[in-house]
Structures are given as structure tokens and as C-alpha cells.
Amino acid sequence: MIITVTNNFIDSRYGHDKLEKITVYNSLGRLVKSSTDHNVNTSNLSSGLYILEIKTSNSRLIRKLIVD
């Protein structure tokens, strides 16, 4: 799985796994964005720490996301 964050977009590629959902939570654990698309626009997120959750047909990945 490859995750790239550039120009206010999160882009993800999964090889053979099928994307189910990308979810972004704020530092309090509240849902701020959810998508079933490979690209997620982050331009409307305030600066700070977020949690990125990516679910595919075979796995679940959780990473920290810092928006500057």
C-alpha cells in the first residue's frame, strides 16, 4: 500500500486489494472526512494532527496525518 500526501490531497494505491473506505478523524476522535475514492481532498482541514484510517478488502491501516 502506498500513501502520498501532496497539494492538499491524500492519494492511495493498494495493489490487488479493493478500497472500501478512507476515513479521517481529528485528534479528539471525531469523524471529519470519509470517502470511498482513492483521492481525498484535505484543503478544508485546519492545521493539526489527524488520524487516517484506510480499509481495504484485506486490511486496515491507521496512520497519523499532520496538516500544516
pLDDT reported for residue 53: 93
Q: Which residues of 21-38 are buried (b: 16+ CB within 10 A; e: fewer)?
A: ebbbbeeeeeeebeeeee
pTM of the model: 0.78
Which are the contacts of 15, defined by CB distance < 8 A and separation ≥ 6?
A: 1
Chain centroid offset of residue 48 CA: 14
Return averaged pLDDT per consecutive 10 residues of the chain, 68 residues in all: 58 69 95 88 88 89 88
All domains of the chain, ordered by start, with CATH? Answer: 2-67 (2.60.40.3080)
Strand residue runs (E) in 1-68 = 2-6, 9-13, 19-26, 31-35, 39-41, 48-56, 60-67
